[in-house]
């Protein structure tokens, strides 16, 4: 059983519609129960649902985040994008940046660094995703890749108090495969050690579910989880939180 303050971040990706909002009722009730007094729930729905989520979650402790943002803090001619100030303005407090699904589409470390800076300027908390691909893991390049992503992504960012690092091995996302505990423990420690005495909070993401949570929660340096698939079903999401604290 853990007594730690933990973060449970639901990444809904490109899923959900107005009907889905009603599934939040159970989570709202749960968020007011004692079982969650040591944790924080954060939903990152698609942009189209943010304002409906905010309305629904008005009187509870559940926070909202965006799934990405543009690197510019200003308005501009960028069809299809939104920026960090727009997210803050609508009521979001978090944003996911550097997700591997976006890196795969061409977001590089430099762009990610600009996005993180713009999000911090907008007073958003940043969930900064890093992780190696299967090929990189097989070539034993995990540490090298993570070091590079951290160094470039956080370049010239001194104050890291509003940054969460989400370690998400690409081979684990949506596959049902999670790293072996002893390996994950080492990697999380490796990430933590990069920051001397003031490490950002570290999350794990990749196929987290209500079955493997019992093992994952035992890793001492993990401060929470970024949860994709399993967060879309309210029961699964609640079970993950409950099991973390049982
Ligand atoms: P998953 O996704 O839990 O479905 O593996 C996690 C993520 O991509 O953030």
Give the start-to-end residue ranges of the domains of the chain.
Answer: 6-245
Q: What is the pLDDT of residues 192-240, one digit of tens each?
A: 999 987 889 999 999 999 999 999 999 999 999 999 999 999 999 999 9
Q: Find out whether the beta carbon of 62 lies less than 6 Å from any atom of ligand 1.
A: no
Q: Find out whether the beta carbon of 11 lies less than 6 Å from any atom of ligand 1.
A: yes
Catalytic residue, from 71, 99, 107, 136: name it.
99
- For residue 15, the model assigns a pLDDT of 97
Q: Which residues of the chain have pLDDT under 70?
A: 1-2, 37
d(CA 22, CA 16): 11
- For residue 1, the model assigns a pLDDT of 56
- The best mutation among 170, 173, 175, 236 to test binding of ligand 1, ranked by most ligand atoms within 8 Å of the C-beta, falls on 173
Closest by CA to 157, choosing from 98, 85, 226, is: 98
- For residue 173, the model assigns a pLDDT of 98
Ligand 1, closest atom to CA 208? 3
Q: How many CA atoms are closer than 13 Å to the CA of 131, on its beta-carbon side?
A: 31
* CATH of the domain spanning 6-245, picked from 3.20.20.70, 3.40.190.10, 3.30.1370.10, 2.40.30.10: 3.20.20.70
Q: Residue 58 Cα, ligand 1 centroid: separation in angstroms?
A: 26
- Give catalytic status of residue 215 as yes or no: no
- Give catalytic status of residue 168 as yes or no: yes
Q: Find out whether the beta carbon of 44 lies less than 6 Å from any atom of ligand 1.
A: no
- For residue 37, the model assigns a pLDDT of 66
Token pair belonging to 163? 């940054």
Q: CB atoms < 10 A from the CB of 170, how many?
A: 22
Q: What is the pLDDT of residues 152-172, one digit of tens each?
A: 999 999 999 999 999 999 999
- For residue 196, the model assigns a pLDDT of 82
């Amino acid at each position: 059983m853990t007594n730690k303050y933990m973060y449970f971040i639901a990444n809904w990706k490109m899923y959900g519609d107005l009907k889905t909002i009603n599934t939040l009722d159970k989570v709202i009730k749960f968020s007011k129960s004692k079982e969650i007094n040591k944790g924080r729930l954060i939903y990152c729905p698609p942009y189209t649902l943010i304002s409906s989520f905010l309305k629904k979650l008005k009187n509870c402790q559940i926070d909202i985040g965006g799934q990405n943002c543009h690197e510019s803090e200003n308005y501009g001619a960028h069809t299809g994008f939104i920026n960090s100030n727009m997210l803050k303005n609508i009521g979001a407090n978090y944003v996911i940046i550097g997700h591997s699904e976006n890196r795969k589409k061409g977001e590089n470390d430099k762009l990610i660094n600009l996005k993180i800076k713009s999000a911090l300027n907008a007073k958003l908390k940043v969930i900064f995703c890093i992780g190696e691909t299967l090929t990189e893991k097989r070539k034993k390049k995990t540490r090298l890749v993570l070091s590079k992503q951290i160094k470039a992504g956080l370049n010239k960012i001194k104050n890291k108090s509003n940054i969460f690092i989400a370690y998400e091995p690409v081979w684990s996302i949506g596959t049902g495969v999670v790293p072996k505990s002893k390996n994950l423990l080492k990697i999380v420690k490796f990430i933590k050690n990069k920051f001397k005495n003031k490490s950002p909070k570290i999350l794990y993401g990749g196929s987290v579910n209500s079955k493997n949570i019992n093992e994952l929660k035992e890793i001492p340096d993990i401060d929470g989880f970024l949860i994709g698939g399993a967060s879309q079903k309210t029961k699964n999401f609640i079970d993950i939180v409950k099991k973390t604290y049982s």
